[in-house]
Amino acid sequence: MARHNGAVGVDIGSAAIKVVELSGDGRADGGGTVVRAAASAPTPPGAIEEGRIADVAAVGRALRDLVQGAGIKTRRAVAAVNGQVALMREVRMPQVSRDEIRQAARFEVERYLPYPIAEVTFDTVVVGENREGESGKVDVLVVAARTDVLRQHAAALQAAGLEPVVLEVEPLAVVRAVSPRAASEHVTACIHLGSSVTMILVAEGEVPRVIRTVAFGTAQLLEAAASRLGATGEAPEVLQARLAAVSAGDDVPGLREAIDDSLSSLVTEIRRSLEYYGGRYRAAVPDRVVVTGGGAALPGITASLTSALDMPVELGDPFPALGGFPQTGAADAGPAYAVAAGLARRGVDEP
């Protein structure tokens, strides 16, 4: 049973801050959760720069207002940095002690990160024994981020009156949200479409196997749509409303093509990632492909990806597995909360 009354997952995106409050439902096995709240607010303009919090005070204020407005009582918070500012590498190593794993990871970090090891915080996650018959070997995911970037995140939470209990990386949170407690043979691919970056993920059960962060997001997609609609310079909300209206009724010639065109470089990356997964781990296609992130709300996005990838793509809603969407908030907004929901679950599982 959980020894605390839950946790709040805090997703500080470049466009929106999202929070999800979860608590354990008191079940003896600790497996159940109750979603207490899910809410979002726009990120103060300019406060996030390439995954770093440039204005801690502004983010702290916006987060405090959001948490208060949503009636969130829990102080224990879990936040994450995105894949742009983190290094994530899977390394195959002999089954050695934890200390030796850390040492090998340190070597890996030194090899791939362009800054001194002293400025970096890193962690390791054993993602499993490899299946290629090399006995006595394990696959270890090495995760590292600059300490100052992590500190800014912690400072923003503290400024909002929250207590940071864990800081992790967004891709791990999304995997936890979209394939909760899935069996290890169940393969889920997830395309998390954010405003400025997209994560491409493949997981076996809850174990991440492919993690990519691509500098492409809904900002570019909306730009393509805007120029087609003759609406460049419009506020995003105005544009979103027009897009929704367009998809509901009258057709704008060329709009779908403009969006699909803009999506094509991302589609290439997704295909490559799936091919890489198939080649490295299993010659198989994923059992499920889901879209999450704010971009999941783009009208027609699942249809566009379904046809571009030639496999069924559906929306990824983290809430059903967590106990359902809370009373407050738009019921169809689930996919946008994938990061926050995955972080909240980490917080609940954490002692």
Closest separation in Å from C-beta 140 to ligand ATP:
26
Q: Which does 298 bind (CB under 5 to 8 A by kind): ligand ATP, Mg ion, none?
A: ligand ATP
Grouping H, G, I as helix, E, B as strand and the rest as coil, residue 258 is helix
Judged by beta carbon, residue 101 or residue 145, the one nearer ligand ATP is: 145
Residues in a beta bridge with 129 = 138
Residue 334 makes contact with ligand ATP by CB under 6 A: no
What is the dihedral sign for C-alpha 309, 315, 318, 320?
negative
What is d(CA 61, CA 160) in angstroms, rounded to the nearest whole number? Answer: 6
Residue 286 makes contact with ligand ATP by CB under 6 A: no
Residue 13 makes contact with Mg ion by CB under 5 A: yes
What is d(CA 268, CA 251) in angstroms, rounded to the nearest whole number? Answer: 27
Judged by beta carbon, residue 15 or residue 138, the one nearer ligand ATP is: 15
Which tokens is 56 given? 């801690």
Residue 41 makes contact with ligand ATP by CB under 6 A: no
Closest separation in Å from C-beta 13 to Mg ion:
4
- Beta-strand (E) ranges in 173-221? 187-193, 198-204, 207-214
Question: What DSSP element (H or E) covers 244?
Answer: helix 236-248
Q: Which does 236 bind (CB under 5 to 8 A by kind): ligand ATP, Mg ion, none?
A: ligand ATP
Alpha carbon of 149 to those of 53, 68, 175: distances in Å?
7, 25, 22
Region of 41 on the Ramachandran plot (φ > 0 left; ψ -120 to 50 alpha; else beta): beta
Which tokens is 220 given? 């570019």
Q: Residue holding tokens 């597995």?
A: 321
Q: Which of 208, 295, 316, 326 binds ligand ATP (CB under 6 A)?
A: 295
Closest separation in Å from C-beta 195 to Mg ion:
7
Residue 297 makes contact with ligand ATP by CB under 6 A: yes
Which one of the spans 34-42, 128-136, 189-197, 254-262 is the region binding Mg ion (CB under 5 A)? 189-197
Residue 195 makes contact with ligand ATP by CB under 6 A: yes
Which one of the spans 10-18, 172-180, 232-240, 259-267 is the region binding Mg ion (CB under 5 A)? 10-18
> What is the DSSP pairing of strand 76-81 with strand 7-12?
parallel
Q: Which of 33, 124, 213, 218 binds ligand ATP (CB under 6 A)?
A: 218
Closest separation in Å from C-beta 61 to ligand ATP:
17
Residue 316 makes contact with ligand ATP by CB under 6 A: no
Alpha carbon of 185 to those of 49, 181, 206, 317: distances in Å?
38, 11, 10, 21
Angle, in degrees to the nearest 10, between helices 255-280 and 218-229: 160
What is d(CA 209, CA 179) in angstroms, rounded to the nearest whole number? Answer: 13
Residue 340 makes contact with ligand ATP by CB under 6 A: no
What is d(CA 337, CA 198) in angstroms, rounded to the nearest whole number? Answer: 14
Judged by beta carbon, residue 87 or residue 246, the one nearer ligand ATP is: 246
Residue 194 makes contact with Mg ion by CB under 5 A: yes
Q: Which of 4, 5, 16, 158 binds ligand ATP (CB under 6 A)?
A: 16
Nearest to 37 by CA among 23, 16, 21, 18: 21
Which one of the spans 60-68, 235-243, 258-266, 319-327 is the region binding ligand ATP (CB under 6 A)? 235-243
Residue 243 makes contact with ligand ATP by CB under 6 A: yes
What is d(CA 106, CA 83) in angstroms, rounded to the nearest whole number? Answer: 19
Q: Which of 22, 157, 222, 266 binds ligand ATP (CB under 6 A)?
A: 222
- 117: number of Cβ within 10 Å: 12
The site for ligand ATP (CB under 6 A) is made up of 13-16, 82, 194-197, 217-218, 222, 236, 240, 243-244, 293-295, 297-298, 336
Task: Using CB under 5 A, list all residues that contact Mg ion.
Answer: 13, 194
